[in-house]
């Protein structure tokens, strides 16, 4: 399979807030796997970067490490691909998930069937998502609910268990159930004291009130709570299921955290066997990721796939989510996601998405949809050296007002593109204007004693 990488940046209608963070913009990667002119897509957010090894430079490094393996993998065996990649990407679930989702999407598209059918699942019918209301002042949270009437449930972020006044204000405008999310910010005494109040206000699910490491508190809460308590941050992979079965009533699985569709399906089967309730959720992600999640919707009790409803800028078209949370999957093979490379969500993208080539790539970095720098990667030997297959030139780089950060994003994507095509060395001619970005990307002088020495990046 051929690997292509595109940098993205998502923006919500409102700044997303929880007890843990505020997110004005969410950068990430769109991973594309291509075979016989057909592409599958997966997504990885640069979110909670220390925990999930998901900072953009780190995900690029990880993709470069596995690029040789990806090129050898068959396009019709995504489970086998996951088995080959998982040991190499241990500790990097988001990157692994992007590759796994892209592989499943590609395999289904090549087979000409929707993803749910390729997975052997049930046809998704009657699916509805809950709607998430981020942490804010009560007036703003009420405004968000009133703008989205008629959803089957509302997932409400609360900073503290005693913030029942927020739920009372929201309850004046809906009879729908509340799912309350503490995002690891609550304490046990306050939570125990608030349980009756939460239940009385129609809270039907409480998600991850405590930090992951507080397993004793979680077990105490499970025994006392009339409201089912679901794990989120506490469930990051199959190894957490046994502990979660003791400490929670259910689990909220997310494809990125699980490491993709392949392990998520295994985790769902084990969760059902342990009698756990199940939810499929989403990270800060676009239609690329949510479209894949929706295909697994019939296999869970609750679906929280509303991140695309929060977006002001999306990466393309895929699953449809109507004004009351009803989900409609595209009538198309795979996930049905179609990227819009010309849209403002793409910060680094191919200048011609229809002319993908392994020997030459033309990439551009964009700000608000306008190109501010361009670069070309082509097969060309190092000056004075014999032609070698694993050498590419980073050439014809032009800048039209790009910042150092934008130039670095363009160059690191260009290097990843070169490595994905088989390069072990990327060289470029020295240019003082781009030197900080080149150094940030890992380029060093081939001959430090010469000012005109080519700059090299080596795997």
Summarised one tens digit per residue, pLDDT across range 106-158 is: 999 999 999 999 999 999 999 999 999 999 999 999 999 999 999 999 999 99
Maximal CA-CA distance, the chain: 78
- Is the domain of 362 the same as that of 288? no
Same domain, 260 and 325: yes
Q: Are residues 275 and 220 in the same domain?
A: yes
| Domain assignment present for 409 | yes
| 377 neighbors 393 (Cβ within 8 angstroms) | yes
- Domain assignment present for residue 7? The answer is no
Looking at the domain assignment, is residue 67 inside a domain? no
The residue among 232, 175, 176, 229 whose CA lies nearest residue 205 is 229
Burial of 353 (0-12, 13-18, 19+ CB in 10 A): middle
Q: For residue 19, what pLDDT is reported?
A: 56
Alpha-carbon separation of residue 399 from 25, 46, 410, 411 (angstroms): 24, 25, 11, 12
* Domain identity same for 153 and 261: yes
Find the helix or strand (DSSP H, E) in which 7 lies: strand 2-12
216's CB contacts (< 8 A; 6+ apart) are: none
Q: Indicate whether 388 and 456 sit together in one domain.
A: yes
Q: Decide which of 270, 305, 339 is a domain's last residue.
A: 339
First to last CA, the chain: 20
Q: So what's the pLDDT on residue 124?
A: 92
Q: What total number of domains does the chain contain?
A: 2
In a domain, 259, yes or no: yes
257 within domain boundaries: yes
282 and 363 share a domain? no
Those residues with Cβ within 8 angstroms of residue 122's Cβ, 6 or more apart along the chain or in another chain: 116, 298, 299
Q: In terms of residue numbers, what domain contains 424?
A: 357-459
Tell me, yes or no, whether 405 and 300 share the same domain: no
Which helix H or strand E contains 426, and what residues bound it?
Answer: strand 425-428
Please report the pLDDT score of residue 398 as a whole number. 83
| Structural domain ending residue among the three candidates 275, 309, 339 | 339
Q: Quick one: which H or E segment has residue 206?
A: strand 203-207
Identify the three-state secondary structure at position 208: coil
The pLDDT value given to residue 321: 93
pLDDT at residue 357, as a whole number: 66
* 20 falls within a domain: no
Sequence-separated (6 or more) residues with CB below 8 Å from residue 206: 179, 180, 182, 198, 225, 227, 228, 229, 230
For residue 366, the domain's CATH number is: 3.40.630.30
What is the structure's pLDDT at 20? Answer: 61
Based on the fold, state whether residues 249 and 363 are members of the same structural domain: no
Whether residue 291 sits in one domain with residue 148: yes
Buried b (16+ CB within 10 A) or exposed e, 182-205: bbbbbebeebeebbeebeebbbeb
* CATH number where 184 lies: 3.20.20.120
Q: Which of 339, 366, 400 is the last residue of a domain?
A: 339
Could you tell me if 311 and 412 lie in one domain?
no
Q: What is the dihedral of CA 334, 1, 44, 58, to 10 degrees?
A: 180
Q: How far apart are CA 55 and CA 312, in angstroms?
A: 23
Same domain assignment for residues 178 and 318: yes
Q: How far apart are CA 110 and CA 333, in angstroms?
A: 8
Per-residue pLDDT of the chain (459 residues; tens, 9 = 90+): 999 999 999 988 766 566 566 567 899 999 999 999 999 999 999 998 888 999 999 999 999 999 999 999 999 999 999 999 999 999 999 999 999 999 999 999 999 999 999 999 999 999 999 999 999 999 999 999 999 999 999 999 999 999 999 999 999 999 999 999 999 999 999 999 999 999 999 999 999 999 999 999 999 999 999 999 999 999 988 889 999 999 999 999 999 999 999 999 999 999 999 999 999 999 999 999 999 999 999 999 999 999 999 899 999 999 999 999 999 999 999 999 999 999 999 999 998 766 666 678 899 999 988 899 999 999 999 888 887 789 999 987 788 889 999 999 999 999 999 999 999 999 999 888 888 999 999 999 988 888 788 999 998
Q: Please give the backbone phi and psi of residue 398, each rounded to the nearest 5 degrees, phi first.
A: -125, 150
- Are 184 and 211 spatial neighbours (Cβ–Cβ below 8 Å)? yes
pLDDT, position 324? 94
Answer whether residue 137 is part of any domain.
yes
CA-angle at 181, arms to 178 and 182, nearest 5°: 140
Q: Does the predicted model carry a pTM greater than 0.85?
A: yes
Give the Å distances, CA to CA, from 378 to 87, 304, 362, 393.
Answer: 31, 43, 9, 5
Residues 309 and 375 in one domain: no
Domain-located, residue 37? no
Q: Are 15 and 157 in contact (CB under 8 A)?
A: no
């Amino acid at each position: 399979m051929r690997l292509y990488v595109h940098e993205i940046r998502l923006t919500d209608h409102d700044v997303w807030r929880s007890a843990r963070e505020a997110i004005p913009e969410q950068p990430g990667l769109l991973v594309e796997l291509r075979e016989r002119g057909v592409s599958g897509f997966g997504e990885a957010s640069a979110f909670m970067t220390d925990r999930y090894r998901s900072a953009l430079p780190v995900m690029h490094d990880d993709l470069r490490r596995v690029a040789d393996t990806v090129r050898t993998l068959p396009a019709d065996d995504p489970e086998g691909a996951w088995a080959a990649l998982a040991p190499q990407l241990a500790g990097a679930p988001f990157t692994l998930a992007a590759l796994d989702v892209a592989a499943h999407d590609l395999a289904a598209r090549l087979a000409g069937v929707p993803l749910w059918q390729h997975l052997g699942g049930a046809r998704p019918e009657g699916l509805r998502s809950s709607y998430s209301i981020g942490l804010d002042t009560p007036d703003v949270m009420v405004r968000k609910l009133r703008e989205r009437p008629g959803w089957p449930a509302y997932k409400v972020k609360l900073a503290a268990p005693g913030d029942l006044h927020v739920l009372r204000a929201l309850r004046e405008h809906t009879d729908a159930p509340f799912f309350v999310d503490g995002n690891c910010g609550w304490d046990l005494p306050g939570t125990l004291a608030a349980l009756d109040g939460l239940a009385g206000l129609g809270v039907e699910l409480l998600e991850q009130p405590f930090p992951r490491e507080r397993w004793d508190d979680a077990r105490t809460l499970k025994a006392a709570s009339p409201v089912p308590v679901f794990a989120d941050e506490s469930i990051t992979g199959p190894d957490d299921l046994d502990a979660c079965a003791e400490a929670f009533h259910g689990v909220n699985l997310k494809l990125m955290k699980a490491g993709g569709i392949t392990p998520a399906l295994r985790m769902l089967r084990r969760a059902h066997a342990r009698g756990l309730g199940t939810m499929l959720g989403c990270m800060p992600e676009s239609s690329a990721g949510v479209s894949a999640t929706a295909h697994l919707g019939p296999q869970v009790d609750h679906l929280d796939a509303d991140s695309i409803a929060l977006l002001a800028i999306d990466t393309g078209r895929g699953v449809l989510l109507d004004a009351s949370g009803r989900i409609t999957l595209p009538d198309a093979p795979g996930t049905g996601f179609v990227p819009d490379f010309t849209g403002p969500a793409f910060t680094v993208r191919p200048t011609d998405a229809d002319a993908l080539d392994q020997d030459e790539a033309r990439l551009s970095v964009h700000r608000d949809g306008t190109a501010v720098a361009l670069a070309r990667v082509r097969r060309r030997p190092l000056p004075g050296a014999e032609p070698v297959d694993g050498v590419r030139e980073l050439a014809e780089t032009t800048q039209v007002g790009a910042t150092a950060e934008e130039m670095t994003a363009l160059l690191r994507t260009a290097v990843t593109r070169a490595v994905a095509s088989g390069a072990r060395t990327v060289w470029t001619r020295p240019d003082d204007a781009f030197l900080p970005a080149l150094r940030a990307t890992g380029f060093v002088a081939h001959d430090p004693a010469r000012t005109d020495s080519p700059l090299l990046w080596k795997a």
